[in-house]
Chain A
Amino acid sequence: MTTAYSDDGGAHGVAIGDTRARWVARHPLASLIIAIVVVFLLWLILAPWPLGFTQVFGSKRLFVTALFNGITLGGLYFFVASGFTLIFGLMRNINLAHGSLYLFGGYIGYEITQWTGSWLFSYVVAFVCCGIIGVAMQVLIFRRMEGQDLRQTLVTLALSIIFSDLMLWIWGGNAYQIDAPDYLYGPLPTPIVVFVRSNGHAIFLRYPSVRIAIFLAAVVIGVAMWLIINRTRIGTMIRAGVDDRDMLSVLGYRVQLIFVLVFAFGAGLAGMGGIVGGTFQSISLGEDTHFLLASLQVVIVGGMGSIPGAALGALIIGCAEQFGQVYFQHYAVMGTFVIMVLVLAIRPQGLLGKR
């Protein structure tokens, strides 16, 4: 079973637009449906809603806010799940301690922002701290049980139990909120009309700027990861390792070094995700399982071991959660679950995963 980070064209250096055009030509019906959905969504977001629409679906403000919350939550999920999927793609072990790394990053971020007052600096510290833990896990434990993926996964489970209790010991059961810096404080006006008053005065949506900034950061990181993996030498090595680890090692590349790097990077991303989560919502005990499960769902839906899949999955799961909370309160969980079941039934390898 192999997984790849890019579509075939990317691997051979062919322009991506080309492969996309080929995909459209090969799947005319699917492309048409996607196009219609996209146009409809754009209309929903940009146009003022007709009255009948509002009566059925509630106010447009509710819908657009849920959508934005979903997309930004997807950005947060991407932070966590992309490292998870990267580690899984290369090492074939499921890092069940990934949620703990997220939570640890959040606590570290809280301490550092409290101590130095610098929100951005806390990202660096959290990345480094969680990266070091990742390196330690890889060097001290996983290297000893090379190729035994189930045993490695159970070890990560044991570590997650230990970490979560240690964090309970240190930080207690309280929830911590990380304060965003002043320049990201407060709402940002957007050019989206949510409501037109009877006197013709349009009301625009105002949205927390910190969420927008973080979503943009997630996009930047996603694109950077994609570029590194598809356009650089180390990325080529990672992709080769995903496809055939043994052959890469036979060719004389230092697979162990790549493993350590990827593990450190994935763990560091999870730690940064913790700060993002602490700024978005709050950091408390139990969030580790929450984000581990979110990562699982994202990866199952998006495709196991695929970075674009993680992005798509994160968007879908994030939106499904937010819309579920707004429109079907008591069955919100079932929304993401049904999506997961559908994907597993139709494409067990995930939407963008490869067999």
Chain B
Amino acid sequence: MALTQTTEPEQFGLEPAQRTTAFARWVAENWLLLLLGLLLLLLPAVAGEFVLTQIVGWSLDLGLIALSLMLLAGYGGMVSLVQMTVASVAGYTLTILGASSITAISLFWPWWVAAPLAIAVAVLFGAFAGILSARTEGIYTIMITLAIAAAFFYLTLQNYAIFNGFNGFTRIPAPKFWGIDWNEAVPLYYLILFFAAVGYLVVFYISRAAFGLALQGVRDNPRRMEAIGYNVTAHRVAAYAFAALIAGVGGILMVWLNHQISPGTAGIQATIYLLVVAVVGGVSHPIGAFVGAFIFVLLRTFALDALIAVGLDGRRFQLLIGIGFLIIMLFSPDGVVGLWRRWAARVRGNGNGERNVS
């Protein structure tokens, strides 16, 4: 499975001379990341409400949900299609326990009860999906998680007693605390940015921590890991549960950002688009999830005008996404991050350009 075999430069076990170049590379990469962080922090000074929430905010939130998929696919080798569902489970739970315009269903509990409970339910759901799919290997995961996602989607569509069926929930308010109204664009933007940054750092940390290394071992050779005494299934389920935590936070922010949730949020198309986001960005590095999300949101927002401008039917957005995804899968299975790595290596001219090609 070429997609998930990362070729991260190993930081340890290198000669001292190599270590300095590795360190230099690390600084170079982080220099870019720091600049990006600074830009994001200063963005509200220049950008309007639309850019803040609908483009950058939504990209960061979608990226956060895609990050949970990246964690599972990139480090665990499990391409889970259930992550958007997990986010929606959190969103629905928050809405049902908290406030919405559907007074017959929503319980109007305070947000600090509803939100943690929603995340807990999402984690349980994610772990359950993990238990179901972790016992089978590789390619079956896609099949089983897609079936779980579809079951949840059709349940929300058919069930009016709990999920309010086709209409879903509208006018879901973000909370007000610390004297701040989080419905406002700027506070909400910073809230999302905060959680996206935390998510990114945690996943990055995990990739180097004992659990993450064991997970990558499970990805590369489960049988060998089992033989050295690791519990493969437990590692996989734990990864699902942790990914569900990230996706759950993303789901709650998504509801606060969009103020509505409906079956379409957890729909098959949304599920597949999330996979597209993660894969196009690249599942070999956490930043890939956010890169993919940003590209996707830009396309979704501006494709209509762009397509009309070049004389095509503006409704062909889906075709555009499909072709873009196909091209990425044919020529750069490790996504934009892989393209970037190869390009950077070629510019540096150290002959490592073909390392990530599979």
- Chain A residues with CB under 8 Å of chain B are 1, 92-94, 96, 141, 144, 148-151, 153-155, 157-162, 164-166, 168-169, 289, 293, 296-297, 299-300, 304, 329-334, 336-337, 340-341, 344-345, 348-349
Contact = CB atoms under 8 A, between A and B. Distances in A.
Contact of B279 (A94, A154, A329): A154
A155 B326 contact: yes
A151 B154 contact: no
Interface string B203-230: 0000000000000000000000000000
A169 B275 CA distance: 24
Interface in B289-348: 313, 316, 318-319, 321-323, 325-326, 329-330, 333
Contacts of B357: none
A137 to B, nearest CB: 12
Interface of B: 1-4, 79, 132-133, 135-140, 142-144, 146-148, 150-151, 154-155, 158-161, 268, 272, 275-276, 279, 313, 316, 318-319, 321-323, 325-326, 329-330, 333, 358
B42 to A, nearest CB: 36
Give the secondary structure class of B's interface: helix
Given A153-B142, A159-B326, A148 B147 contact: no
Contact of A344 (B144, B323, B326, B330): B144
B151 A333 contact: yes
B138 A293 contact: no
Nearest to A166: B319
A162 B321 CA distance: 8
Contacts of A92: 139
B83 to A, nearest CB: 15
B268 A289 contact: yes
Contact of B322 (A153, A159, A329, A349): A159
Contacts of A155: 326, 329-330
8 contacts: A94-B142, A149-B138, A150-B138, A154-B79, A154-B275, A154-B329, A158-B326, A164-B318
Given A159-B326, A162-B326, A296-B143, A150 B4 contact: yes
A300 B323 contact: no
Nearest to B157: A333
B2 A148 contact: yes
A64 to B, nearest CB: 25
Contacts of B135: 344, 348
Contact of A161 (B2, B139, B144, B272): B272
